[in-house]
Copies of this chain bind each other. A is one copy, B any other.
Amino acid sequence: MKKSKLYKDFNYIKALSKLRENGIRPTSQRKILAKIIFEKGNRHLNADDLFNETKKLGYSISLATIYNTLKQFSSFGLLKEIVVDQNKSMYCNNKEPHYHLYVEDEAKIIDIPNSNIDLSNIPEIPACLNLHNIDIIVRIRTLKESSK
């Protein structure tokens, strides 16, 4: 077994164990989805991507289940939801702290390690001092589409 294969399996197994930790039953659907999501290293995907990949692999999991599963996985930190555009949520399987560079024309997302953005000067956060999460999306568009 190749080293990279081992690594991928490890991420899948960690995901299953996260399910158990959170009292969520490892049903066949959830196992299939976890496998697809975590077996390929860092990536960004949405419900539709996932739906198509399951079909391509010969499985048939309903879209509703996929939506619900993505949301549930995010609720305990297995995935991170990124709102890139209206009517389009993406999910990121990279658990390291990082931000996102979003190239709108290509609907492509690139991770930026945390250490590359200096946030020390953002204004004081009002009232709610206990932050749960800071998300940054850097949006980029090429010149030609300036008036869309």
Q: Mark A residues whose CB is within 8 Å of B.
A: 75-76, 83-89, 101, 103, 105-106, 108, 110, 112, 115-119, 121-123, 125-126, 128, 130-148
**Closest Cβ of chain B: how far from A79's Cβ, in Å?**
13
Give me 14 other A-B pairs in contact (C-beta within 8 A), A131-B140, A132-B145 excluded.
A76-B147, A83-B86, A101-B122, A101-B123, A105-B128, A110-B123, A117-B118, A130-B142, A131-B141, A132-B140, A133-B139, A134-B139, A136-B138, A137-B137
Chain B contacts for A112, CB-based, 8 A? 122-123
Say yes or no: B136 contacts A137, CB within 8 Å: yes
Copies of this polypeptide in the complex: 2
Q: Would you call A138 and B116 a contact (CB within 8 A)?
A: no
Q: List 20 A-B contacts (CB under 8 A).
A: A75-B148, A76-B147, A83-B83, A86-B87, A108-B126, A112-B122, A115-B121, A116-B122, A117-B118, A130-B143, A130-B144, A131-B140, A131-B141, A131-B143, A132-B141, A132-B142, A132-B143, A133-B140, A133-B146, A136-B137
